Structures are given as C-alpha cells and as structure tokens.
Amino acid sequence: GEDVEQSLFLSVREGDSSVINCTYTDSSSTYLYWYKQEPGAGLQLLTYIFSNMDMKQDQRLTVLLNKKDKHLSLRIADTQTGDSAIYFCAESGSSASKIIFGSGTRLSIRP
C-alpha cells in the first residue's frame, strides 16, 4: 500500500543547513509535498515538486527527488529559530486529492 516514512527528530545548530529525508512507496505519485506545522497550528504548504522533476529551489528551500529510489529531501539553508516546527513529507498517492502523509520530523534548533 501507500506509505511515507521519515525520521522523527532532527536537531541542527542555528545558521547551519537542515536536511530532512523521506521515502515513499507509491511510484504513481504525481506530486510530492513538504508541509510545516508549528505548535497549535494547521499545516502550511512549504513547497511541492512534480514527480518528473529532480530538484526545485525556492529561496532557502531546496527539494531533491530521486524517483528511482523513491527518496525525497528538503534542505533548509541558514536554519533559523523560526524554522522550529514539525515537517511533513507527503505524496499525492493514487488520487491527487488524497494526500498520504509521513509521521513528521520535529526540527529543533540549537543556539
């Protein structure tokens, strides 16, 4: 079945780059997403990538997609305290309107 996996925790020093990794199983996924959730808040769409792309860059965010290995990563350059949140990797699954989420990676920033 469809599944998305990601590590639960990541701790980085302020100013360093953060790299959050994710693997997925559904090779028919059209879209792959990164969402951010701050405490007590809903989900904020950070960025997404089409399955026929390898890379997408948006300011401090870089998404890399390895479709052969079904591996997705999110790199946050110059990580700031405001980046502290849970980051969810997600795929569009068998239907574009039904998103399958990973368990989320909690990113904490060390001074």
Partner 1 sequence: KAGVTQTPRYLIKTRGQQVTLSCSPISGHRSVSWYQQTPGQGLQFLFEYFSETQRNKGNFPGRFSGRQFSNSRSEMNVSTLELGDSALYLCASSMGQGEETQYFGPGTRLLVL
> Residue 81 has what DSSP assignment?
G
Please give the radius of gyration of the chain, using alpha carbons only, rounded to the nearest integer.
Answer: 13
Toward partner 1, which CB reaches closer, 32 or 76?
Answer: 32
CB of 31 to partner 1, least distance (A): 6
Q: Using alpha carbons, select from 13, 28, 8 the residue that is nearest to residue 89.
A: 8
> Residue 31 has what DSSP assignment?
E
Toward partner 1, which CB reaches closer, 83 or 93?
Answer: 93
Toward partner 1, which CB reaches closer, 79 or 86?
Answer: 86
Q: Using alpha carbons, select from 98, 97, 76, 74 the residue that is nearest to residue 22.
A: 74
Identify whether the C-beta of residue 32 lies closer than 8 Å to the C-beta of residue 90: yes
CB of 19 to partner 1, least distance (A): 21
CB of 101 to partner 1, least distance (A): 4
* Cβ partners under 8 Å of residue 97, min gap 6: none
CB of 73 to partner 1, least distance (A): 20
Toward partner 1, which CB reaches closer, 39 or 111?
Answer: 39
**Residues near partner 1, by CB under 8 A:** 30-31, 35, 41-45, 48, 88, 92, 95-104
